[in-house]
Amino acid sequence: MQVCCCVVLVVGCTVKAEREDSVMPHVKWDNPIEAGKYLVTVTGCNDCHTDGYLMTGGNIPEENWLMGSALGWQGPWGTTYPTNLRLRVQEWDEQTWVNTLKNRKDLPPMPWMNVNKMSEKDMRSVYAYVRSLGPKGEHVPNAVAPGVEPKTPYLSMFPQNMPVAID
């Protein structure tokens, strides 16, 4: 009797998980790698994670996509660097990738608050695409604390000419 109860609970959980996934908006594509490529392209992953992508209007060969950048982003949080995702997916299994994209809260300018809302199906597609590119490049520098001058080029994201608050 207890065995039957356990089976019913497992089946119930599976049905619920499938129902939740079908309700969550996601890219519908037969091939997860193609879906991942599409998502990487339209969500702006290359803007930061592909060196020179913005400056060339996206004219970077696909074989050089997502290798990170030593161009830092400096603001009140310090200086951060876009991760080499091609190496990261070699270090993490798919579930670690999904858990990170669902739960991570980290330093700007990475829009974690938006990434956290991506469907799990889309997260897995992005993982499949990035992994399909294979490992390439080097790891990027570690983040630099606020007030410490980085040794690399960086973009300043400090607000300028802010209006003065009137009490």
> How are strands ordered across the β-sheet holding 72-75?
78-80, 72-75, 154-156
The pLDDT value recorded for residue 11 is: 34
Task: List, in order, residues 6 or more apart from 91 with CB less than 8 Å away.
Answer: none
In angstroms, the Cα distances linking 1 to 9, 10, 13, 15, 67 are 13, 15, 19, 21, 54
Evaluate if pTM is beyond 0.95.
no
Both tokens assigned to 45: 């992953």
What does the alpha-carbon distance between residue 150 and residue 84 come to, in Å, rounded to a whole number?
A: 18
The pLDDT value recorded for residue 92 is: 97
Domain boundaries, the chain: 30-156
The pLDDT value recorded for residue 30 is: 86
Residue 80: half-sphere exposure toward Cβ, Cα within 13 Å: 14
The pLDDT value recorded for residue 22 is: 58
The pLDDT value recorded for residue 21 is: 54
The pLDDT value recorded for residue 5 is: 37
Mapped onto helix, strand or coil, the DSSP state of residue 155 is: strand
Please tell me the total number of residues recorded for the chain in this structure: 167
What does the alpha-carbon distance between residue 17 and residue 85 come to, in Å, rounded to a whole number?
A: 28
The pLDDT value recorded for residue 13 is: 32
DSSP bridge pairs for 75: 78
Q: What is the pLDDT along the chain (167 residues), one digit of tens a residue?
A: 333 333 333 333 333 334 345 567 787 888 999 999 999 999 999 999 999 999 999 999 999 999 999 999 999 999 999 999 999 999 999 999 999 999 999 999 999 999 999 999 999 999 999 999 999 999 999 999 999 999 999 999 998 898 888 87
Residue 122's nearest CA partner among 103, 89, 97, 154 is 97
The pLDDT value recorded for residue 29 is: 82
